[in-house]
Chain A
Amino acid sequence: MLDVRNLQKIYTGRNRNVEALRNLTFHIGAGELVCLVGPSGCGKTTLLKCMAGLLTPTGGEVTLDGHPVTGPPPGMAVVFQEYGRSLFAWMNVRDNVALPLRRKKLGKTREKELVDHALEVVGLADAHQAYPWQLSGGMQQRVAIARAVAFEPKVLLMDEPFAAVDAQTRAELEDLIRHLWRELGVTVLFVTHDIDEAVYLGQRTIILSTSPTVVQEDLTIDLPDERDQLHTRSSTRFAELRAHVYEQIQRAKHHNGDAEAPKDDDPDTLTDDRSHDLAVQNTES
C-alpha cells in the first residue's frame, strides 16, 4: 500500500544544510494502523510531508499502491501538528469540514450527510456554526479530524494530533481514532512522541532514531484488538511493550545514522554516500 524506500531529506539553507532524514525504509499495508515515535526534532513532520507529497525528498521514494508520490495524492488526508493554523478562521466549523468535499461533487445530500456524520462522531454536533477561534484547542483539533474523516480518505496521516489537549480529551480522542479506523477501514499513520499513545493505539510502532534519522525499530504491538483505556493500559503486556519502546527511545537518543559509520567531524556535511549503505537497523517484526 504505502511504501517508503531509502527516503532521505536534506534541507538546504543559505549557509547550513540539515539532514533531517538519512535513510528510512518501511512498509504500511492497506488497512493498517501504524504509530511512529521518535525524539523531538528527529524529522517526523518532515517524513509525513514527504509521504503526503508536500515535500520533495532528496533521495529515495514514497510509493502509494505502486505509484510514486510526486504531489498530494487524491485519496489522502493529513491532520497537521499545528491544528490551530490548519483551520480557516473565516469559515465556521461546518464550512471548514465541507470545503474539501466540494471538489468531489458528491451532491448536496451526500455532502451534508458526510459533514453531519463526521461532526457527530468527533462530538461536535452542536458546534456547526461556531468559528474555530471560538473553540478550545481540543475542539479545534477535533474539527481538523472531522474534516479528514468527512473526506473519506484511503490513507490518513496524523502528525502529533493530540499534543496540545488535556489527558482526558486525549484518551477520548485516542479511542475515537481507533473507532474511526475500524469503522472506515482506512490506513492510518499516526505520529506521536508519547510512548503510551504509541503502544496503545497501533498494530505496529515504528521507532525513529535522532537526526540524521534512520528506523531504529519496527515493532509489532501484539495487544488484543479490543482495547480500552482502563484494561489495556493496566495489562502486563502493555507494560512490557511500553518499557521496550521506552528503552529503544532512550537508545535512539544516542543513536543515529552516524553511529555505525566512521565519525565525521561535522554531521551536516554530506560528501560521502555511505547513507546508502545503511540499511534499516534492528528490524523486528
Chain B
Amino acid sequence: MIRTTVLTAARRVLLVLGMPAVLFAVWWFATADSTDFYVPPLATILQKFGEVWTVERLLSDVVPSLIRLVAGYLLAVVVGVGLGLVVGMSRVVRDVLEPVLELFRAIPPPVLVPVIMLFAGIGDTMKVIVIVSGCMWPILLNTVEGVRAGDEVLSDTCRSYGITGVARLRHLVLRSASPQIVTGMRQALSIAIILMVISEMFAAINGLGFTIVQFQRSFAIPEMWSGVLLLGLLGFALSLLFRFAENRVLAWYHGLRRAQRNP
C-alpha cells in the first residue's frame, strides 16, 4: 500500500520535472561552448543567478512585483466573478453588456498600458490597474458561462426548499460555476504575470521586469538571462500552487468527471 503510493508519487514528480530537466540539459549542452555575446553558456547564467538574486535583491525587486501581481490578480478575481454573477444571472444585463464586454476583451491588454498611465500615473496603482484590466476578462466571461450553464433541476430544487438569496448564491450558483471560474482564473494567472512584467518595463523604479530591462540596457546579458530564468521559475511555482489549490477546491468535480467516464 504505502510502497505503491510512494511509487506513484515518485512517478508524478518525475513526470512534472522530466520535461524541464530535458530542456535544461539541451540548453546547457547547446550553449556550453557559445561565444555569442547575446547567448552566454547556461553555466555563466547560473553563476550570475547566484550573484544577482541575493536576498536584498529579492526584497527590493521581486517582492514588490509579487505584491502588485497578487493585488491585481485578486482584484481581478473579485471584479470578474462579481460582474460575471450579475451578467450571468440577469438576461437583461447580459443583452445590454455582452457586446461591450466582447469589445473590451478584444483589446490586447498591453495596448492599454500607455492609456492607463495617462490617468493613473506611473505608480503601483497604474500597474495594478493594468493587471486587473487585462486578466479580469477570462474570469468574467468564464463565470458568465458557468452561471448560465447551471442546472435547471438543481435550481428548482433550491427554490422548492426555499434556498434563496445569499444561500443560493453561495451553495448553488458559485459552486456549480466553480469549474468554469477556475478555468478562467488559470488563464488569468498567466496573463497577470505577463502584464506584471510589461507594466514594469514601461515606467518603474523597481520590480522584476524593471530589473531585466535595466540589465538589458546596460548590456549585462548573463544577468538579464538570469532574470528571465527567475521569471520562468516564478511562473512555474505559481502554476504549481494554483494546481494544488484547484485540486482541493475542485476535488468533487474531478471525482464526478471520473465517475461519469467509467460508470
Contacts and interface: CB of A to CB of B under 8 A. Distances in A.
B259 A88 contact: no
Interface stretch (A1-9, A75-83, A177-185, A201-209): A75-83
A87 B161 CA distance: 12
Given A72-B162, A100-B163, A103-B162, A134 B255 contact: yes
Interface string A57-91: 00000000000000110101110101001111111
B153 A133 contact: no
B175 interface: yes
Nearest to A136: B263
A80 B259 contact: no
Interface in B223-263: 252-253, 255-256, 259-260
**SS class, residues of chain A in contact with chain B:** loop
Given A131-B255, A133-B260, A90 B160 contact: no
A49 interface: yes
Contacts of B167: 102-103
Contacts of B259: 133-134
B160 A72 contact: yes
Contacts of B156: 49, 52, 54, 78, 80, 86
A54 B158 CA distance: 11
Interface in B148-171: 151, 153-154, 156-157, 159-163, 167, 171
Contact of A99 (B153, B163, B252, B256): B163
Given A131-B252, A133-B259, A134-B259, A86 B162 contact: no
Interface in A104-145: 131, 133-134
Interface size class of A (residues with CB under 8 A): 20 to 34
B154 A85 contact: yes
A133 B254 CA distance: 11
Given A88-B171, A88-B172, A133 B255 contact: yes
B162 to A, nearest CB: 6
B154 A86 contact: yes
A52 to B, nearest CB: 5
Contact of A151 (B159, B161, B255): B161
A100 B255 contact: no
A90 B253 contact: yes
Nearest to B161: A100
Contact of A88 (B159, B162, B175, B255): B175
Contacts of A74: 162
A147 B175 CA distance: 19
Contact of B160 (A52, A82, A103, A131): A52
Contacts of B176: 90
Contacts of A87: 154
A82 B178 CA distance: 22
Contacts of B161: 72, 77, 99-100, 103, 147, 151
Nearest to A54: B156
A88 B171 CA distance: 9
A128 to B, nearest CB: 16
Nearest to A95: B171
A92 to B, nearest CB: 9
A244 B252 CA distance: 48
Contact of B178 (A78, A90, A147): A90
B153 to A, nearest CB: 4
Contact of B162 (A85, A89, A100, A134): A100
Given A103-B163, A134-B259, A147-B161, 5 more contacts: A72-B162, A80-B156, A89-B252, A90-B178, A103-B161
What are the nearest 7 A-B pairs in CB distance?
A100-B161, A85-B153, A133-B259, A90-B252, A133-B256, A72-B160, A86-B157
14 contacts: A52-B160, A72-B160, A72-B161, A77-B160, A80-B156, A80-B157, A82-B153, A88-B171, A89-B256, A90-B178, A99-B163, A100-B163, A133-B252, A133-B259
